[in-house]
Structure 1
Amino acid sequence: MVDVAGSIGSVLSPVLEVGKWSAAPIWRQFKYLYNYNTNFKNLEKQVDQLKNMRDEVQLKVTAAERNVEVIKQNVKDWQKDVEKTITEAEQLIQGKANNPQCFKGLWSNYKQSKKAFKLKREDIDPLLQKEKEFDQVSFPTIPQDIWLRSNEDYLAFESRTSMLKNVWDALNDENVYMIGVYGMGGIGKTTLVQKVGGEAKDKLFEDTVFVEVTQNFDIKKVQTELADKLGVKFSNETERADKLYERLRSSTKIVLILDNIWEDIDLKTIGIPSKTDREGCKLLITTRNLDVLEKMGSTNNFQMGVLEEEEAWNLFWKMAGNLVIEFSIVCFLGLPNFYNVQIY
């Protein structure tokens, strides 16, 4: 009798196993119908949370863009995925509202419930879990000097053509490290080197940095301005020159314009590499005095002279033309009280 029972058990055991394994998929399919309303409620709740998170991230993105920062690519990708997922979820929720609650709609209910469950678990939940990644949505950028973006203020005078070519050729010569432009004040040295520097950034160099030194040389001020434009951060005062030196020395292609130098400067005290350790860095200096350039070791120096008479008049009319016309009209009409002007 025991043998018979054992025989029956051995026969039924595989059958029961099959029944147990087949029942699980059946229940999994049935639960989508059973949890139809629950799945949609959970989906709607998660969609609302995702929308709130989307709006919070967008506020951060907008603030970063207004601060001229670069938005991280993973943030952009997330925003794109969120919009796509929200659209898909809202279409599914709207489909539920239009679905008939009758026997003919059971198959549709099953498919919608299953899709709602998977959309929440496989798409929305992972998107919500990335919230901590978006504390910082952007990278800070180094603003480009305005003069690099436009050369509208530059007037192409014939007497300046050879000067431009000489400076350009020197910048293009790998053996030249320091280039000097000298001449009397207000003659246009700064405008010329900005013109050349702007074009050099597009064609010869990866970056162009402009710093005005001025008569009252302040090494800390120059270092700070250099650091800001090069993206260098100082943790303490003693490392200023060293960090600037390494940044400029390691640059493959950069032209540094030091404008309006009044006296010879020990460049290493600022953090500017020497000729033998410069890698791809070049210096373009403006000053009023040739001896300043010579004391600093510059051998490629170009003197800027005054404009030709016709060029000077053209510049005068461009800069003050309207004022001259108004003054001439007033003088011609002989308006009373024109000279009776009180200056406060």
Structure 2
Amino acid sequence: MDCVSPILDVATRLWDCTTKRAVYIGDLQEILESLSKAMEELKNIAEDVKTKVELAEKNRQMRRTREVDGWLQSVRVLEKQVDEILQKGNQEIQRKCLGSCCPKNCRSSYKIGKIASKKLGAIADLSKSCINDVANRLLQDPVDERPMEKTVGLDLMYAEVCRCILDEQLGIIGLYGMGGVGKTTLMTKVNNEFFKTSNDFEVVIWIVVSSSANVGKVQEVIRNKLDIPDDRWRNRAEDEKAVEIFNTLKSKRFVILLDDVWERLDLQKLGVPSPNSQNKSKVILTTRSRDVCHDMDAQKSIKVECLTQDEAINLFKKKVGESTLCSHPDIPKLAEIAAKECKGLPLALITIGRAMAGKSTLQEWE
């Protein structure tokens, strides 16, 4: 019996090395070569991504995102793991000799081969995610620039809004004022100038809310900017869509720009995480009513004032045009009178100024 036990033990171990395990053992050399080649290809992809990100950042075409940094970090971790596997695998191959089928070598080769095969799958997944996610982010700008003419009289207001955005204690900021005073223009300036040059925010989403606020429509705008796939969106209920938006935004530093808000819009129903000093995200809204700022829990409400008299006259004359103003010596004075009647409202000044452009007779102006 003393002789049988070792033989049975050897037989049992040898049996463990057969069938599917034999693939990992017999093809270990081939598996290691495939792993090395795949890792080298992934490193080349990562280097290409890194170069493109640095170039895009330099040209201010994009900002580095957590997703891109996370992907590059995953490649570095995987590279380290693969190097260890290759080292152990090559040592195992070097130790093989006539008795290489001994139970100890079989088990070790099997283990290394199995781990190597799993890492091949991990490399494939990372390569696929680069194509589907990271590469797309290289092409997608976090903020969409909006059309805007040169502004007049907004510099001080713009500077104040920028200071509020930089204040981490202010999550929700409200811009309020009468219709036509320039709230949307001010927020457009913030969108185009501040967020285009700031490297701190990963996504900026502009949403026109208007009087007929609809949660579903607002969610759709957010979804389009976040590129949430159809299979996670189509045929989903409103609260399920809110969960998808929340899970996508919770790991990002985001800005939501809500234009023309007439009544309270529930951020929780939309799926927008509450902006605070921890996530350093922002919600900025424009509205005609200061009460709406309070209803939206704005920590800072900024009144957008009408233009001063000098600013109003300058804007009006700019829209009328120099050739019209010079067509009669009395027109500049009449233009000033007309500008004062607009009470500093940019929309009125722009609309009437454009209407009077080309009107070169005194009769038309009177």
d(CA) in 2 for partners of 1:176 and 1:325?
43
Aligned to 1:168: 162
Aligned to 1:324: 356
Contact between 1:248 and 1:273, CA under 8 Å: does it hold in 2? Answer: yes
Change beyond 3 A, Cα 1:185–1:277: same
Change beyond 3 A, Cα 1:309–1:295: same
Task: Say which SS state the counterpart of residue 237 (structure 1) adopts.
Answer: coil
Aligned to 1:177: 171
Aligned to 1:273: 273
Task: Say which SS state the counterpart of residue 274 (structure 1) adopts.
Answer: coil
Aligned to 1:188: 182
Change beyond 3 A, Cα 1:162–1:325: closer
Counterpart AA for 2:208: E
Give the deviation of 1:139 after TM superposition.
5.3
Counterpart AA for 2:209: V
Change beyond 3 A, Cα 1:146–1:270: closer
d(CA) in 2 for partners of 1:305 and 1:270?
31
d(CA) in 1 for partners of 2:235 and 2:203?
26
Contact between 1:213 and 1:261, CA under 8 Å: does it hold in 2? Answer: yes
Asked if 1:212 is matched to 2:208, the reply is yes
Aligned to 1:229: 225
d(CA) in 2 for partners of 1:269 and 1:289?
22
Aligned to 2:64: none
Tell me the TM-score normalised to structure 2 length: 0.47
Task: Say which SS state the counterpart of residue 180 (structure 1) adopts.
Answer: strand
Alignment of 1:1-150 (within 5 A): 142=140, 147-148=145-146
Task: Say which SS state the counterpart of residue 208 (structure 1) adopts.
Answer: strand
Task: Say which SS state the counterpart of residue 307 (structure 2) adopts.
Answer: coil
Alignment of 1:283-322 (within 5 A): 283-321=283-321
Q: Deviations over 1:122-147 (max 9, x none)?
A: xxxxxxxxxxx9xx999596577763
Change beyond 3 A, Cα 1:273–1:325: closer
Task: Say which SS state the counterpart of residue 151 (structure 2) adopts.
Answer: coil
Consecutive unaligned residues of structure 2, counting only runs of 5 or more, are: 1-127, 325-354
Counterpart AA for 1:248: L
Change beyond 3 A, Cα 1:210–1:187: same
Task: Say which SS state the counterpart of residue 265 (structure 1) adopts.
Answer: coil
d(CA) in 2 for partners of 1:281 and 1:236?
29
Contact between 1:227 and 1:244, CA under 8 Å: does it hold in 2? Answer: yes
Contact between 2:143 and 2:191, CA under 8 Å: does it hold in 1? Answer: no
d(CA) in 2 for partners of 1:197 and 1:285?
12
d(CA) in 1 for partners of 2:226 and 2:280?
15
Aligned length: 195
Q: Deviations over 1:1-27 (max 9, x none)?
A: xxxxxxxxxxxxxxxxxxxxxxxxxxx
What's the % identity of the aligned pairs? Answer: 30
Give the deviation of 1:280 after TM superposition.
3.5
| Larger CA Rg, structure 1 vs 2 | 1
Alignment of 1:237-256 (within 5 A): 237-238=236-237, 239-251=240-252, 253-256=253-256
Counterpart AA for 1:173: D
Q: Deviations over 1:205-229 (max 9, x none)?
A: 2332111101111111111111112
CA RMSD in angstroms, aligned pairs only: 3.2
Task: Say which SS state the counterpart of residue 327 (structure 1) adopts.
Answer: coil
d(CA) in 2 for partners of 1:212 and 1:315?
26
Detail structure 1 runs of 4+ shifted over 6 Å in the superposition: none
Aligned to 1:261: 261
Counterpart AA for 1:241: A
Contact between 2:319 and 2:357, CA under 8 Å: does it hold in 1? Answer: no
d(CA) in 2 for partners of 1:225 and 1:302?
26
d(CA) in 1 for partners of 2:234 and 2:140?
19
d(CA) in 1 for partners of 2:289 and 2:264?
10
d(CA) in 1 for partners of 2:278 and 2:291?
23
Counterpart AA for 2:249: L
d(CA) in 2 for partners of 1:155 and 1:276?
31
Consecutive unaligned residues of structure 1, counting only runs of 5 or more, are: 1-132, 333-344
d(CA) in 2 for partners of 1:191 and 1:324?
22
Contact between 2:207 and 2:259, CA under 8 Å: does it hold in 1? Answer: yes
Tell me the TM-score normalised to structure 1 length: 0.50
Contact between 2:259 and 2:287, CA under 8 Å: does it hold in 1? Answer: yes
Change beyond 3 A, Cα 1:271–1:278: farther
Contact between 1:248 and 1:278, CA under 8 Å: does it hold in 2? Answer: no
Task: Say which SS state the counterpart of residue 359 (structure 2) adopts.
Answer: helix
Change beyond 3 A, Cα 1:277–1:309: closer
Q: Deviations over 1:266-299 (max 9, x none)?
A: 1111111124697242101110001111122112
